[in-house]
Structure 1
Amino acid sequence: MNTFTLLIFSALILIIAYILYGGYLAKKWGIDDSRKTPAHTKYDGIDYVPSKTPILMGHHFASIAGAGPIVGPIQAAIFGWIPVTLWVLIGSIFFGGLQDFGSLFASIRHDGKSIGEIIEVNMGKKGKRLFSLFAWLTLILVVAAFSNIVADSFVSTPAAGSASILFIFLAILFGMAVYRFKMPLSIATVIGVILLFGCIYLGFLFPLVLPKYIWILLLLVYIFIASVTPVWILLQPRDYLNSFLLYSMIAGSLIGICILRPEIQMSGFTGFTVNNQYLFPVLFVTVACGAISGFHSLVGSGTSAKQLYKESDAQKIGYGSMLIEGLLAIVALITVAYISHGDFTNLLKNGGPVNVFSEGIANFMLSFGIPFSIGKTFTSLAISAFALTSLDTSTRLARFIFQEFFDEDKKENNNDKTNKNNPLSNMYLSTGITVVFSGLLAIMGYEKIWPIFGSANQLLAAIALLAIALWLANSKRSFKEFIIPIIFMFIVTIFSLMLNIKANIGVNYTLVIIASLLLILAGILIYEAICLIYKNKHSLKNSK
């Protein structure tokens, strides 16, 4: 099959889904622009900041994308390109898009609170505490894993490290220009993007060569600062500017595919068992962000909901970003399907998924005159930039969850960032604890913790879907679209965690403990949800 045909078919399906299914959900849920969003009603200049759609779109997309939709589909391609394509399209439309849109919408209707807070409203404090523990543990895994990935990227491509440091200072200047000096967004964007590519050029000229452990320490310092500074001065402008890197990379790959129109060089389906791995549940856990990711629900309800300018933006930012990520996953699949030449296993061993993707995109860009070496280096830079974006967003989200867990007073004054009764809700202390635990896990190396991350992330998605469905039910709204995704994701991820526990007994007891803890927490949450549903039905029956 021709990759151009696969690309066009996938893009058309996703566009139609955004218009029809996304529009259907917006109408059904009652999206209303006359209602003020939490960014306006709870404005504090730090976390709650009304943001223009393009800026928030850039932040949200850059935060949820990272390296997930690239690494996942490429690794899952061992089962063939057909099952991966089907799951990316079905998953991003009916699973991931539903979760991302739903979590963002539910959050803005709960004053911009996280999924954990939404669970507390609909399941009680016990449910919220269990979810908060689960989400915080998952985010710790994310931060630890991505710290290693980014550090490895900076070691292998020193230009990416120096360029990323320059990006940080550029983001601060951009944020000051737009929010303090009121420079028009269009003018600031043009200047910012030019300077962004200037940073890349300077990165090539002055590569920063440092050992991995130094990079990890520097990253831990950076994510601490990024977590406690106002979103408008660093996190938001950095993500917005970095989104142009990803847009450029996607545009370059799409143009190259349209010009080159290469044939797929790998099998459509290789079997239900490959290299002692089962298609179920491995495929659905491995593809991860390309179809659905629990991390997305934390981004939507953690940072994006606090910056949403109007309710109708929720469809563009929540549902639209997930579909764009699905298209990126298809592009990643096409790269490996094109350059594998039937030797998929050895291809992955030679540099891993990121290297496969970079080489594939470089080949596509070569078709319209971009030298292979420049194309590959640019793609590597873009991927490392977005992995870093996911890293600092994860730290901020973990800080939110940690604070909410210990914040018992529910104070009316949102500007007060400390809890007089419990110092653990202090913004700086909660961030420090999160960074320290992440750093300790990072020392182990991401290879040891990555297997458990995929299962935890997808199980988090199942719990987020359950939380949104319970809220809709309590609000007397229909939640039928959530039933199949909830059941399917719970079955997939619980089975995957059990396999992880079995595989690591006697080999890695740290993973056994973490997997067991996540499984127990998820089991209790499911039990609590079933009891709540039964109680509501019983009360409704008695009232009749």
Structure 2
Amino acid sequence: MSALVLLGIAIIAFVIAYKVYGGFLVKHLDLDDSRKTPAHTMKDGVDYVPAKAPVLLGHHFASIAGAAPIIGPVTAAVFGWIPAFLWIVLGSIFIGAVHDFSSIVASIRHKGKSIGIIIDHTMGKSGKTLFNIFAWLTLVLIIAVFANIVANTFVAVPEAGTASMLFIVIAIVYGFTVYRNNFPVIIGTIVGVALLLLSIWFGIKFPLVLSFNQWITILMIYVIVASIAPVWILLQPRDYLNSFLLYGMMAGAIIGLFFYNPTIQLTGFGGFKTNLGYMFPVLFVTIACGAISGFHSLVASGTTAKQIDKETDARIIGYGGMLIEGTLATVALITAAMLTKGDYAAAIGNGGPVALFSTGVGSFLEKISIPHSVGTTFTSLVVSAFALTTLDTATRLGRYIFQEFFERDSANGSVAKNLGTNPYVATIVTVVASGLLALSNWQAIWPIFGSANQLLAAVALLTVSVWLAKIGKNNKFTLYPMIFMFAVTLTALAQLSYKNLTLADAKLSNYVLGGFGVALFILAIVLIIFAIKTLKKAHEEHKGFSV
């Protein structure tokens, strides 16, 4: 079968879903542009900053994309391209996009605060405390994983290190010229993207060769600064400009794919049990960001909701952003599915998922007159740039969550300041914990990260379901996906925790990760109990309404 058929089915399904199911969600979430968003009512020039929909979509998409929608589908292709493809398409439409969209809306209605604060309002302070612990532990895992991905990529492709450092400088200049000196956005964007392309050329000419530990140190210092700096100076402009690189890579890959027209050669169904484990639950936690990811809810309620200009923008940014990511995941799957089983196994063993994807996209770009080596290097640079984006966004979110955990109301109703709410303390504690974990065995971190991340998605869906029930609205479109995600992730987390804690040659890192898993499992169960009690109470308050 032609890979174009696979891509065509995905794109058509996503377009129809955005129009039909996206419209259904707009109605049931009651979006209204007459309501002022937190970006306006709480504007502070640091975190709460109104952004136009295209700019915010760029930031949001760059933050949620990273390397996960590439690594997940390529890795999960071992189960066969059919189950992987079905999970990407159906998961994106009915679970992932709903999760992202509803998380943004719920946060907007709660002053742009995180899922933890929404839990506080719906399930009480104990629920908020448990969630903040849960979310912070998950973010520490995420930061550790992506620090490893970025550092390893920079070691393997030193050109990416040079280019990524230059990207940061360009973003800062863009932030000052456009946001502080009112330079025209269109002209600034054209110049900014041109400079990004120039920095890629510069990186190829002058690669920055450093060791893994050196890159980890540099990255940890960088994310400390990026976490505290105002969003307009780095986060917004860097993510916005970088999004054009990803859009360009995706567009080039799709156009090249039409000319290449590869045939699907990989096995359609690779078996219910593979070297990764059983299809249920492993497939559903391996392909995370390409179908649903709990990290998205933290981005949605942590940074995106603070920048939404008007409520209806949530549809294109939340629902649409996830469908774009589903398209990227489909392209990633095709780069694996066009290989034979033997070639796929060899590629995974030699270079890993990112190298396989970069080589595949390089082959597509070659069909539109871009040399294969240039296309492969460019793709590697783009992937590393977005992994870096996820890294500093996750650090900022970790800082928010840490501060919220220590927030206490003062006598006059304002938030009392203490050591825990200090942004510098919150950032340093988060980064030090993540950095230490990043220096351990990252291959062992990835499976736990996947399970914890997807469990976070289940908790976010649970939170939105409770919120909708409490205000008397239908919540079935979040409730049913939530039940499925809890079934998947609790099973996966239990299996992985047991494996790490019972290994005959277990190392300290295995015990730490096993302990992480047990802690997350227990916290999730307690939150479920809190939610069930709240749902029952909401059902009694809204007679005749089914929750």
TM-score (norm 2): 0.96
Are residues 339 and 410 of structure 1, via their aligned partners in 2, closer, same or farther at CA, if it must alter by over 3 Å?
Answer: farther
Q: Which runs of 5+ in 2 are unaligned?
A: none
State whether residues 267 and 342 of structure 1, in contact with CA within 8 Å, keep that contact through their aligned partners in structure 2: no
Which residue, out of 456, 470, 474, partners 1:474? 470
Are residues 31 and 411 of structure 1, via their aligned partners in 2, closer, same or farther at CA, if it must alter by over 3 Å?
Answer: farther
More off after superposition, 402-411 vs 450-459: 402-411
| 1:529 matched residue in structure 2 | 531
Are residues 356 and 411 of structure 1, via their aligned partners in 2, closer, same or farther at CA, if it must alter by over 3 Å?
Answer: farther
Q: Which runs of 5+ in 1 are unaligned?
A: none
Q: Say if 2:102 is the partner of 1:102.
A: yes
Q: Secondary structure at the match of 2:368?
A: coil
Q: Hey, what's the Cα distance between the residues in 1 that align with 2:318 and 2:410?
A: 27
Q: Hey, what's the Cα distance between the residues in 2 that align with 1:434 and 1:363?
A: 40
The offset of 1:538, in angstroms, is: 4.5
Percent identity of equivalent pairs? 56
Which residue, out of 472, 485, 488, partners 2:484? 488
| 1:511 matched residue in structure 2 | 513
State whether residues 419 and 426 of structure 1, in contact with CA within 8 Å, keep that contact through their aligned partners in structure 2: no
The offset of 1:30, in angstroms, is: 1.0
State whether residues 339 and 360 of structure 1, in contact with CA within 8 Å, keep that contact through their aligned partners in structure 2: no
Q: Hey, what's the Cα distance between the residues in 2 that align with 1:489 and 1:391?
A: 24
Q: Report Cα offsets for 1:315-368 as digits up to 9, x if no partner.
A: 000000000000100000001111345443222101000000000000111111
State whether residues 227 and 399 of structure 1, in contact with CA within 8 Å, keep that contact through their aligned partners in structure 2: yes
Q: Secondary structure at the match of 2:408?
A: coil
Q: Say if 2:435 is the partner of 1:439.
A: yes
Q: Hey, what's the Cα distance between the residues in 1 that align with 2:412 and 2:445?
A: 39
Q: Hey, what's the Cα distance between the residues in 2 that align with 1:269 and 1:410?
A: 59
Q: Say if 2:423 is the partner of 1:427.
A: yes
State whether residues 340 and 347 of structure 1, in contact with CA within 8 Å, keep that contact through their aligned partners in structure 2: no
| 1:20 matched residue in structure 2 | 20
Q: Hey, what's the Cα distance between the residues in 1 that align with 2:182 and 2:163?
A: 27
State whether residues 146 and 446 of structure 1, in contact with CA within 8 Å, keep that contact through their aligned partners in structure 2: no
State whether residues 294 and 461 of structure 1, in contact with CA within 8 Å, keep that contact through their aligned partners in structure 2: yes
Q: Hey, what's the Cα distance between the residues in 2 that align with 1:40 and 1:410?
A: 25
Q: Say if 2:53 is the partner of 1:57.
A: no
- Over the aligned positions, Cα root-mean-square deviation in angstroms equals 1.6
| 1:464 matched residue in structure 2 | 460
Q: Report Cα offsets for 1:200-227 as digits up to 9, x if no partner.
A: 1111111111111111000000000000
State whether residues 265 and 342 of structure 1, in contact with CA within 8 Å, keep that contact through their aligned partners in structure 2: no
Q: Hey, what's the Cα distance between the residues in 2 that align with 1:261 and 1:33?
A: 44
| 2:66 matched residue in structure 1 | 66
State whether residues 290 and 329 of structure 1, in contact with CA within 8 Å, keep that contact through their aligned partners in structure 2: yes
Query: Superposition pairs for residues 222-261 of structure 1, below 5 Å?
Result: 222-261=222-261
More off after superposition, 504-513 vs 152-161: 504-513
The offset of 1:127, in angstroms, is: 0.4
The offset of 1:541, in angstroms, is: 6.4
| 1:187 matched residue in structure 2 | 187
Q: Report Cα offsets for 1:349-407 as digits up to 9, x if no partner.
A: 01000000000000111111111100000000000000000000000000001111101
Q: Hey, what's the Cα distance between the residues in 1 that align with 2:178 and 2:26?
A: 31
TM-score (norm 1): 0.97
| 1:312 matched residue in structure 2 | 312
Query: Superposition pairs for residues 54-453 of structure 1, below 5 Å?
Result: 54-275=54-275, 277-340=277-340, 342-409=342-409, 419-420=416-417, 422-453=418-449
Q: Secondary structure at the match of 2:112?
A: coil
State whether residues 224 and 435 of structure 1, in contact with CA within 8 Å, keep that contact through their aligned partners in structure 2: yes
State whether residues 64 and 296 of structure 2, in contact with CA within 8 Å, keep that contact through their aligned partners in structure 1: yes
State whether residues 245 and 382 of structure 1, in contact with CA within 8 Å, keep that contact through their aligned partners in structure 2: yes
Q: Hey, what's the Cα distance between the residues in 2 that align with 1:243 and 1:29?
A: 28
